[in-house]
Amino acid sequence: VQKHQNQIIAIDGPAGSGKSTAARLLAPRVDFLHVDTGAIYRTLTLLAIEGNIDLDNQQALAALVPQLNISFKTASDRILVFSGDREVSNEIRNPELTAQVHFAAASPLVRQALQPLQRSFAVSHSVVMEGRDIGTVIFPDADLKFFLDAPLKSRAERRWRELQAKGEKISLQEVEADQTARDKNDTDRQTAPLRAAEDAIVVDTGLYDIDGMVEELERIVRSKLAIPAGAEEQS
Ligand code: CDP
């Protein structure tokens, strides 16, 4: 009997490109676990702030990694993030915290420490894993790699609408400025910069509505991967 291998779909791309929505909706369609690695960097930042740890102190940040106990639960319209028993989904996405995540993201020590944790999610499940460096660093041998992108204007608008819906008081200009800064940090950093893997399929998410995008991704997944029976085709 052939051993069942877990499969890995990597989804990378800049802020607001629709990665999270795509991954969240795609994963159940193929019966994979959705892993949002941005939530890991965000939760680490939250714990550091709450522990009064200097975000500039790479050693201290990396020392928090073994304490991370992150899990994900799919709710109807979003993914819930837990740190131990505590749900942190909203806190980790507020704009103040978002503006601080670059400390953890830019640190080679932190990125190194987070590698085993990210890979461990694929030990027991097939995964749709989204982030910035999944196809390049975390799973360079992923079965399938997507790089989702869209023009800055539409990415900023998408994120602004999400934040509005949560009642955050923030202007579109502020969101655009934040994303420009994060894109620059993510693209320019020395360690694991944001870029499409050579073998990634680049998708311009500005060309689709959400349903259309997920259908397109699912179509590609089913054409390239053997999806085990039981993951029903939905339409
Ligand atoms: O949701 P959004 O795309 O705005 O961000 P995210 O995916 O939650 O990631 C938040 C931040 O974490 C990003 O701006 C990156 O700096 C960092 N990150 C990273 O460096 N590597 C990853 N694999 C995932 C996130």
Q: Which of 221, 90, 93, 197 is nearest to 137 (CA)?
A: 197
Burial of 53 (0-12, 13-18, 19+ CB in 10 A): middle
46 lines ligand 1 (CB under 6 A): no
From the CB of 105, is ligand 1 less than 6 Å away?
Answer: yes
Distance in angstroms (rounded) separating the CA atoms of residues 189 and 9: 24
Q: Using 50, 70 and 90 to split pLDDT, how confident is the model at 78?
A: confident
Q: What is the 3-state secondary structure (H, E, C) of 166-203?
A: CCCCCCHHHHHHHHHHHHHHHHHCCCCCCCCCCCCEEE
Our answer on whether the CB atom of 35 is closer than 6 Å to any ligand 1 atom is: no
- Is the CB of 102 inside a 6 Å radius of any atom of ligand 1? yes
Ligand 1 site, residue 42, Cβ cutoff 6 A: yes
175 in contact with ligand 1, CB cutoff 6 A:
no
**Rg of the chain over CA atoms, in angstroms?**
17
Q: What is the mean predicted confidence (pLDDT) over 191-198?
A: 94
128-142, 146-160, 202-216, 219-233, range with greatest mean pLDDT: 128-142
* Mean residue pLDDT across the chain: 93
pLDDT band per the 50, 70, 90 thresholds, residue 1: low
Please give the pLDDT value at position 64: 97
Atom 10 of ligand 1, residue of closest alpha carbon: 38
pLDDT score for 226: 86
Q: Is the CB of 182 under 6 A from ligand 1?
A: yes
Determine the average pLDDT of the residues in 17-32.
94
Helix spans in 65-171 (H) = 95-98, 102-106, 108-124, 152-165
- Contact 89 CB / ligand 1 (< 6 Å): no
Q: Specify the pLDDT at position 234.
A: 53
Atom 4 of ligand 1, residue of closest alpha carbon: 15
User: How far apart are the CA of 131 and the centre of ligand 1, in A?
Assistant: 6
pLDDT at 227: 81
Q: Report the SS3 class of residue 127.
A: strand
pLDDT at position 169 over 70: yes
- Rounded to two decimals, the pTM is 0.92
Residue 40 binned pLDDT confidence (cut-offs 50, 70, 90)? very high
Residue 70, pLDDT above cutoff 60: yes
Answer yes or no: is pLDDT of 77 > 90. Answer: no
In whole angstroms, give the CA distance from residue 85 to residue 82: 6
Of the residues 101, 114, 129, 147, which should be mutated to test ligand 1's pocket, given the most ligand atoms within 8 Å of the CB? 101
Atom 14 of ligand 1: nearest residue by CA position: 182
Per-residue confidence (pLDDT) for residue 75, from 0 to 100:
85
Ligand 1 atom at minimum distance from 182 CA:
14
| pLDDT tens figures, 95-137 | 999 999 999 999 999 999 999 999 999 999 999 999 999 999 9
